[in-house]
Amino acid sequence: MESFKIAEHRVVLRHCGRIDPTRIEDYLAHDGYAALKEALTQGSPTAVLKAIKASGLRGRGGAAFPTGVKWETAARTQAPERFVVCNADEGEPGTWKDRVLLEGDPHSIIEGMILCGYAIGARRGYFYIRGEYTHAIALMAQALEQARSLGFLGQNLLGSGFNFDVEIRTGAGAYVCGEETALLNSIEGGRGEPRLKPPYPAAAGLWGSPTVVNNVETLANVPVILTRGVEWFRSLGTQRCPGTKVLTLSGDVTRPGVYEVPMGAPLRQIIFDLAGGIANGSRFKVAQVGGASGALVAESQLDTPLDYDQMAALGLTLGAGAIMVLDERRCMVDVAAAWARFFHRESCGQCTPCREGTLQLVSILEGVAHGEATREHLELLAELADVMRWTSLCALGQTAPLAISQAIQLFADEFAAHIESRRCPAGVCRFPATLPVRG
Amino acid sequence: MTGAPESPTPTPVPAAPGIAPHQPPTRSGLLPALCAVQGRSGYLSRQELTELSRSMSLPLSEVYGVATFYSLLSLAPRGKVVVHVCDSPTCHSRAVQGLLPAFQDALGIGPGETTSDGRFSLERASCLGHCGEAPVMASDHQVHGKMSPREVPEWLSRSPGKEV
């Protein structure tokens, strides 16, 4: 592939760092609430719904479900009450784009939420923000108050007869609440345990009512799509994934950070041009795209265009856009054990495959890291991974073994060195002085 | 709708006059109420959980079930300074010697424990959302990024927990 420099294309992030997030006046001076004003005074809920559907916008939280279809399902489901929920429970390791948006441009997200409420006929919205994001929570509370004082929230918005208000709910430390149905249970006052799907929230969500649950970045796309038009939006990105994606680059890159690129940009350019390549003159080993629950991308796959479908066709994931880069100094056994510990700690414990499966993943991988495992343990892990993938209740248990299984295949020699020679090629793992007695 | 706790949500929405807005069931205020109690008292005592169960007409077991589900809620008193050290895969891979072990060594306690003088509690965090600055830790809503294990003793000596 011909080498070319890719540039950032800021659509969702266009206000971040440029406007004062504490002043609604700044947002108003940058076309803020223009889409809402137009929709309420000259448009209709159907027109908003049609535009979002025609834009081809897909969920930016990772599931990539067509946003307009989700909205339409909620709008068409007969019910006395409907809800909009903004999922700001960003907890995927390697992802912090929603925090940047919440802290840099709160009103875009609020405007997107009101427009969704208008389109589907909801009167109430909930912002579910993770408890760790205290600064974002305070900023959002202030922004909602400002929007309320100018009549963008409350009763009879801008004289349209449409009533809509939003309440903040904060999480209290639970990764699984990022799963939409766990999040709904948390809002309802229960343990944040996922529900069996279907029914999907768009048909039966909060208190059984049709509920649109959208990611922060998805909602932030809504006002700009309506202001600049569907055609403009579809001119960005790829045919099946229009628009941009906000990415977070972490790990062993020269310039870790938040970047926004059109969908379809090749990963190689993102890592080597935007993020400045591998730090400290080291060599690329592997990238994990999609967070801890995402898949590993080997060097030979770096030219894959980053969009949901082209990644999925190769068994890869884009997820929420987290890209963690590992250089050659990292030990894959050590990293795999860290993934396993993360999922074990964050498993809600509701279903057996995930609760017991993550525990066994930790046990086997720490065994490998300490030179106490055998080949049979890896075979057992492969079987366990299949069971977890097919029988876990939610995505947490289904995806927990994904990167681990890939690491065992891609870096078979590293695992073999730990098991057969009690040696860590990267020099990270430490082995007990004496071999344990095996029965 | 009787006996709802005072100000159960962090940002209560003023009741809109006229058209009755949706009233979420009382139960929905449980997590906000637990967060409010912890914000006030520093932890959730058995007495406060019992009072909450009575005022919200919920079985104590259900209040306990929710209180123990979330890692930011604590059922035991915690230190003056609570240190949250990120142990996510992202931070882990960036701190080969380990930031969490450095805090464990310096404080002489494990994750989830409090020093005997009540100054420090140590918590293992899953991801603090500052992965570009890995490895990170947080305390009193302040995030400290690119923290080397070598800096840990000095950080502890500067933190308010030592000034008592």
CB-nearest partner of B132 from A137, A256, A341: A256
Q: For position A436, what pLDDT does the model report?
A: 57
Which residues of A are less than 8 Å from B132 in CB distance? 96, 248-250, 256-258
* Residues 6+ away with beta carbon under 8 Å from A421: none
pLDDT value, residue B17 = 40
Cα–Cα distance measured from residue A305 to residue A309, given in angstroms and rounded to the nearest whole number:
9
Residue with structure tokens 């009549």? Answer: A151
Average pLDDT, chain B: 85
The whole-angstrom distance between A190's CA and the closest CA on chain B is 6
- Residue A42's contacts (CB-CB under 8 Å, 6 or more residues apart) are none
Which residues, 6 or more positions from B58, have their beta carbon under 8 angstroms from its beta carbon? B27, B30, B52
- Asked whether residue B18 carries a pLDDT value surpassing 60, the answer given is no
What is the predicted pLDDT for the residue at B155? 94
Q: Are β-strands A284-289 and A295-297 bridged in parallel, bridged antiparallel, or unpaired?
A: antiparallel
Q: Which residues of A are less than 8 Å from B13 in CB distance?
A: 165-167
Q: Is the pLDDT of residue B11 over 60?
A: no
pLDDT for B93 equals 84
For residue B35, give every residue at least 6 positions away whose Cβ sits within 8 Å of its Cβ, in sequence order, or none: A131, A170, A172, B10, B73
Question: How many A-B residue pairs are in contact by the CB < 8 A criterion?
Answer: 162
Q: Per residue in B102-154, pLDDT tens?
A: 999 999 999 999 999 999 999 999 999 999 999 999 998 999 999 999 999 99
C-alpha to C-alpha distance for B112 and B43, rounded to whole angstroms: 13
pLDDT at residue B98, rounded to an integer: 85
Give CA–CA dist A397/A347, Å, rounded. 7
Which residues contact residue A49 at a Cβ distance below 8 angstroms, ignoring those fewer than 6 apart? A68, A71, A72, A75, A119, A120
Tell me which chain B residue has its CA closest to the CA of residue A141. B11
Q: Are A172 and B72 in contact (CB < 8 Å)?
A: yes
Output phi, psi for A430, to 5 deg.
Answer: -110, 135
pLDDT at residue A7 in the model: 78
Output the tens digit of pLDDT for each of chain A's 439 residues: 334 456 789 999 999 999 999 999 999 999 999 999 999 999 999 999 999 999 999 999 999 999 999 999 999 999 999 999 999 999 999 999 999 999 999 999 999 999 999 999 999 999 999 999 999 999 999 999 999 999 999 999 999 999 999 999 999 999 999 999 999 999 999 999 999 999 999 999 999 999 999 999 999 999 999 999 999 999 999 999 999 999 999 999 999 999 999 999 999 999 999 999 999 999 999 999 999 999 999 999 999 999 999 999 999 999 999 999 999 999 999 999 999 999 999 999 999 999 999 999 999 999 999 999 999 999 999 999 999 999 999 999 999 999 999 999 999 999 999 999 999 999 999 998 765 555 4
Contact indicator for B143, B158 with CB cutoff of 8 Å: no
Give every CB contact of residue A126 below 8 A, 6+ residues apart in sequence: A83, A84, A85, A86, A166, A167, A168, A169, A187, A206
Instruction: Kindly list the strands in the beta sheet with A124-129, ordered across the sheet, starting from the edge strand earlier in the chain.
Output: A165-170, A124-129, A83-88, A211-215
Q: Which of residues 39-98 of B touch A (CB under 8 A)?
A: 65-66, 69-73, 87-94, 96
Q: What is the pTM of this model?
A: 0.93
The count of C-alpha atoms lying within 13 angstroms of the C-alpha of B141, restricted to the half-sphere facing its C-beta, is: 9
Distances (CA, A) of A435 to A41, A333, A367, A381: 76, 19, 12, 22
Inspect the interface and report whether the beta carbons of B132 and A342 lie closer than 8 Å. no
> Distance (Å) from the C-alpha of residue B115 to the closest C-alpha of chain A?
22
pLDDT of residue B162: 57
Cβ <8 Å between B127 and A141: no
